Amino acid sequence: MRTGIATVCLSGTLKEKMHACAIAGFDGIEIFEQDLVTSPLSPEDVRKMAADLGLGLDLYQPFRDFDGVTPDLLKANLRRAEAKFKLMSRLGMDTILVCSNVATATIDDDGVRAEQLAQLAGLAGDHGIKVAYEALAWGKYVNDYEHAYRLVEMVDHPNLGTCLDSFHILSRDWDTAPIEKINPEKIFFVQVADAPKLSMDVLSWSRHYRVFPGEGQFELAKFMGHVVRAGYTGPVSLEVFNDVFRQSDTERTAVDAMRSLIWLEEQSAKWLADNAGNGADGAPSGGATLRRRYPMELATLPKVNQPAGFNFAEVKADNTAQLERLLGQLGFGFEGRHRTKDVQLWSMGQARVIINEQAASQAEPSIAALGFDVDSPVIASARAQQLKAPVVARRVQADEEVFQGISAPDTTEIFLCQGSPDGTAAWTHEFGEGLEHARSAQNAVIDHVNLAQPWQHFDEAVLFYTSALALEPQPFAEVPSPSGLVRSQVMETADGAVRLVLNLAPVQQAHGPKTYQEHIAFAVDDLVAAARAARARGLDFLQIPANYYEDLDARFDLDPGFLATLRELNLLYDRDADGEFLHFYTATVGSVFFEMVERRGNYSGYGAPNAPVRHAVQYDSLHR
């Protein structure tokens, strides 16, 4: 698959953008007109720089408001087009994007449109230029890709084809199957963008909220599957207008973009394999044994299953006393220090927490690393590296377990560990220096981990965990807090064994309380007993207001004795059709706090109705 990206996706100057695209490994780029117009580089400079960087200049865009106009306007539009064709010759470019008319069309007649597009194609032919005509989702008269293609067929000129843009097609819910009926010679270009499902006007949605594939909710593998089945072999190019990406680090966004195409390529191949035999091309059914080959080659990645569970969570701190006290009060047992590093292991059943005192540059404790149980750490690591995840190096001595580590977008270190069926971990023998120590009586597992994400890297994080770890993004929620709305995105495995919650923290005010908090939640069998035991050990619970319990009673009509227990122990409660959820929070240390939960029945949520209470109480306690 030939990869591309429009310069409009990135921040920076044209030169910076081109360098970043080359570093990220793109085959080609789309020159967005404004990037050229505002650049000190001459067209000849750009052409040479692209050649030196090994970047194809695959598409010049956009050319707007051409078709369906009065004769006077047509004359002016052809003159404008010819100037661009001459410019493209200097750039050494041969394909231009022409969008369906939004602003100046006054004639709604396919005959007139075809006649005008024929004149444009003829002029383009004189300059050796190909015109890729695209239906904008908000085009005045042409807003449907099949309509745009009908016009291309009516004109029937070698220099006129169509551009398929996943946003314009999927935002309008157009059926993508008819793409397969398009003559592949007439598909001059394919642009891909993902987007969250939002209810707003489609133009604003497109201009501000497009994201890279895998970061939104569009069915892009299916879209691409139809494109591949049509026989298309040209560039697959990202065209993503996004307010955040346009102000984030250029090289980093280019890598995020490239990762999205590598992932999309794999997902498209998978969609084709899963849907072999269902093609509009009438390929015989019979599944993989009769799998057709298509002209576009799709690369695949090392395959991984979803992780089977958390292997450990690691908190970094240089003053560990408060953390040690909290874990002990929760019922964790101290398993000992590592024999060669300044690292402690605490455990309760299968829940393991490492306190890392080395290189704890931040004075305040924070979640530094997560270990996941995978089938094969080597294969999982190979996959992550092919997806351009940065590798994390850890100092190990001979006979110590070598962890395969990668760095997540927020710099949390992700370790790919060898899972074991009984939930134990081989590396724990490196701790404790052979001393006997009391094990915690209580069973527990890491239920979920909640990571605060910097705003610039939130979408990147969603794609990272989707592509590298095969976690499934759930529809996002917005949780009210005193310092702003917190965007919350659950990433989990199908069986719920791994649940990761990504929270986009509100931007912190210069002198305001900290908004950056994250936590590790442990599931136990009997939360009331665990809370009583923790209270007996002196645990500092997050104090829940009495108003909450009145509201809880109004909503759920709870047994008075049960309600009194919840209130007495500062427990929170939720219930849905699948089951019940009890939980409590500890006070915060640095940017970290802990949660303890009990899931009853098949409850699979996180107590979302209680999250605003938690945010408000934490805010209050930081203000004091």
Catalog residues that contact Mg ion under the rule CB under 5 A. Answer: 165, 191, 239, 367, 412
Q: Which is nearer to Mg ion, 381 or 503 (CB)?
A: 503
CB of 32 to Mg ion, least distance (A): 10
CB of 561 to Mg ion, least distance (A): 40
- C-alpha 509/C-alpha 505 separation (Å) is 12
CB of 143 to Mg ion, least distance (A): 13
CB of 165 to Mg ion, least distance (A): 4
Q: Which of 216, 268, 209, 192 lies closest to 473, judged by CA?
A: 216
Q: Which is nearer to Mg ion, 14 or 97 (CB)?
A: 97
Q: Which is nearer to Mg ion, 179 or 572 (CB)?
A: 179
* 400: Cα separation from own chain's centroid: 34
* 41: Cα separation from own chain's centroid: 34
535 CB burial (10 A radius; 0-12, 13-18, 19+): middle
CB of 601 to Mg ion, least distance (A): 32
Task: Tell me which DSSP letter residue 457 carries.
Answer: G
Gyration radius from the chain CA atoms: 28
- Residue 603 one-letter amino acid: Y
CB of 463 to Mg ion, least distance (A): 18
* 22: Cα separation from own chain's centroid: 22
Q: Which is nearer to Mg ion, 191 or 588 (CB)?
A: 191
Q: Which is nearer to Mg ion, 215 or 314 (CB)?
A: 314
* 624: Cα separation from own chain's centroid: 36
Q: Which is nearer to Mg ion, 412 or 570 (CB)?
A: 412
CB of 134 to Mg ion, least distance (A): 5
Q: Which is nearer to Mg ion, 367 or 470 (CB)?
A: 367
Q: Which is nearer to Mg ion, 77 or 412 (CB)?
A: 412
- C-alpha 58/C-alpha 601 separation (Å) is 55
Q: Which is nearer to Mg ion, 100 or 442 (CB)?
A: 100
CB of 145 to Mg ion, least distance (A): 11
- C-alpha 221/C-alpha 214 separation (Å) is 10
**Closest-approach residue to Mg ion (CB):** 165
- Buried (b) or exposed (e) across 325-362, using 16+ Cβ within 10 A? ebbbbbbbbbbbbbeebebbbbbbbbbbbbbbeeebee
- C-alpha 573/C-alpha 82 separation (Å) is 68
- C-alpha 503/C-alpha 490 separation (Å) is 9
Residue by residue, what is the 3-state secondary structure of 555-613?
HHCCCHHHHHHHHHHCCEEEEECCEEEEEEEECCECCEEEEEEEEEECCCCCCHHHHHH
| Beta-strand runs (E) in 274-425 | 309-316, 333-337, 343-348, 351-356, 366-374, 391-392, 404-407, 413-418
Tokens of 500: 């990761």
Q: Which is nearer to Mg ion, 412 or 610 (CB)?
A: 412
CB of 99 to Mg ion, least distance (A): 7
Q: Which is nearer to Mg ion, 116 or 591 (CB)?
A: 591
- C-alpha 39/C-alpha 43 separation (Å) is 9
Q: Which is nearer to Mg ion, 367 or 486 (CB)?
A: 367
CB of 8 to Mg ion, least distance (A): 10
- C-alpha 465/C-alpha 442 separation (Å) is 31
Number of C-alpha atoms within 13 angstroms, CB side, residue 171? 29
- C-alpha 149/C-alpha 225 separation (Å) is 19
CB of 545 to Mg ion, least distance (A): 29
CB within 8 Å of 599: residues ≥ 6 apart: 447, 523, 579, 580, 581
CB of 3 to Mg ion, least distance (A): 16
CB of 366 to Mg ion, least distance (A): 5
Q: Which is nearer to Mg ion, 134 or 215 (CB)?
A: 134
| Contact (Cβ atoms closer than 8 angstroms) between residue 615 and residue 482 | yes
Q: Which is nearer to Mg ion, 21 or 98 (CB)?
A: 98
- C-alpha 335/C-alpha 427 separation (Å) is 12
Cα dihedral 404/492/443/343 (nearest 10): 30
CB of 549 to Mg ion, least distance (A): 33
- Counting every residue written for the chain, the total comes to 624
